[in-house]
A and B are shown apart, each in its own frame.
Chain A
């Protein structure tokens, strides 16, 4: 690698040619604060927090280190009074149009602006007090709230929406002081083709965007003796929740999570992984049916509600490719209010079905039509909360998370296999399906392969071809909706020869979901936090006694006692759903308001 010689604060160091000052400083062990900068997706040099002095032989001048490249002989100063004073002033100016209601802000304590103000020694939040904007709060979407009175116009959310997800329903509108991140023509987010993925929330440095929370309703239900409040937790939650309690990224916390949920007061602590194993039973059978009867191929997974909504808005002509399987969360809810209710002799209406998800799109999903297995007006899920919300709820309930013992899930819907836990990472649903499909195709022998490493990893699009029992299966995996778009365009054009495709809305899968703890820019720009979280799930997979979904004894029992055949009539009623065609812009609806 070609390098250049520079000095940083008088200390000589080498830096890769073409790298930014910010990256070079990081290599030399010096942190330069940033606010708008997000590696690869938002490199706009706009916020001016990362200013340093750089001398290229013409005297030192202030430059934005996040976008300014190093050059041979450059002298960089990151901590002169001029630099530090400039950063402080920039923060004071940002605060002049910020609502500063930290005490009641959901992000307080984890806010990047707050942390910077503290580090830069901001001692007067009203230094430049003047006219401030009073923006209307947008709570039109099912999953989130936007409060632009806290927005600092860093545009990270815009970049996540447009570049990572290929959607672009938010942008900077108007000009100058009244510039606002919003949707076109004053539409609320809920009136746009927003897919609820929450990647905007995941990258927001402040508390301007946050999920809607039903935590109070959940607590009230728990306090109601007439109700059976049952919780399920998605695979990825156990790989991220620890971060809410300052544990290192990649700390497995399944046992403490189960213990915490029990202490909050949930009557049963179950695992969405059970639902994931059932999903494989249904999805693998649906795939084999499509393959043998000449059905529509490729079949595409339907676990990710952000992806589903995306497909409905942008590829309404391709919906027949979607598996009719409900997501694991919804399957679980359906089974809970039918099978388990019957088993326990509970009235389904007395069950309050709650989930903890790494996902904000789940908040949209629970309100979808055709998601009420136990009957009209009895939704599979009553409430869902994000990993972040659970973290806050644990604190609110006065539970010392890090001191909790490891506990297990309750039976029978807490039992799961290694195939289910990897649902939380890109390629995981595919690998889980392959474990069962290949087992089936090769004569149901116990030594059929377990690991399919070709489908693992964080490339946006992965492809692999497998042959089993004389059947050739070509698969593709995409995560992040820009990547999904590339695959869908191929399918629409008739150029895809895949049998089975897995798509997850969030880049890297649910471990990087819009409901996971926010990873501050200073970490996410330099560390592979997704791989750390994924390693938790692969670690659980390896440690499980059973690693193929069809081996789950509780799932086997579910089918033999109650459900009948996978994809049978009862299974169809409880475990499958339908989709609706949506549009990208609905001018008529907008005009009718």
Chain B
């Protein structure tokens, strides 16, 4: 019951769906095909929303729950899309003791989403990460790989504005 519905509407194209169905048809009769098919589906769509998981389940003749159970077990699978700008906040030990938890909370507040989610306009997605190797700059966040160090919650709005 702990799932929160994606606030980004599904925008899959017929081409994507055709590609997915082709991948499934090519692989479904092999033993242990579910994981590779899910990985390829994520390559195609960027994430695995209910629309995509349902196609996988129906085409493979297995319950949707089987697909969802795997999707929620492995960290590599995402149930929400990534944004144009992917924000990661380090919640590793050094950053955390320097207050990165507050920065994370501030981002959630400003963007109106929780960690793991994407804004409805698909502009920003937010994730927590572990050490990015810049502990000397703690607390650290990255946006599409660009590193922002020694920041405070007050700096967050200004940084986001650069991307608007």
Contact = CB atoms under 8 A, between A and B. Distances in A.
Interface of A: 135-136, 138, 148, 162, 167-175, 178, 180, 182-186, 188, 584-585, 587, 590-591, 593
A188 to B, nearest CB: 7
B69 A185 contact: no
Contacts of A172: 69, 73
Given A175-B73, A185-B50, A587-B50, A169 B2 contact: no
B21 to A, nearest CB: 16
B154 interface: no
B64 A186 contact: no
Contact of A173 (B5, B50, B63, B69): B69
B3 interface: yes
Contacts of A585: 50, 54, 57-58, 64
B4 interface: yes
Contact of B69 (A135, A171, A591): A171
Contact of B63 (A167, A174, A186, A587): A167
B63 A182 contact: no
Q: Categorize the interface residue count of chain B.
A: 20 to 34
B2 A136 contact: yes
A368 to B, nearest CB: 24
Interface in B95-150: none
Contacts, number: 74
B65 A184 contact: yes
Chain B contact surface mostly: helix
Given A185-B68, A587-B50, A587-B51, A169 B3 contact: no
B62 interface: yes
Given A136-B1, A167-B63, A186-B3, A173 B51 contact: no
A36 B66 CA distance: 20
Interface of B: 1-5, 50-51, 53-54, 57-58, 62-69, 72-74, 79
Of all A-B residue pairs in the complex, the 9 with the closest CB atoms, nearest first, are A186-B3, A168-B63, A184-B68, A171-B65, A171-B69, A136-B1, A173-B72, A184-B65, A174-B72
A184 B53 contact: yes
Contacts of A591: 50
B65 A183 contact: yes
B63 A171 contact: yes
A172 B65 CA distance: 9
B2 A178 contact: yes
Contacts of B3: 173, 185-186
A488 to B, nearest CB: 14
The CB with the most chain A CB atoms within 10 A, among B1, B54, B67, B68, is that of: B1
Contacts of B57: 585
16 contacts: A136-B1, A138-B1, A162-B63, A168-B65, A169-B63, A173-B3, A173-B68, A175-B73, A178-B2, A184-B50, A184-B65, A186-B2, A584-B64, A585-B54, A587-B50, A590-B50
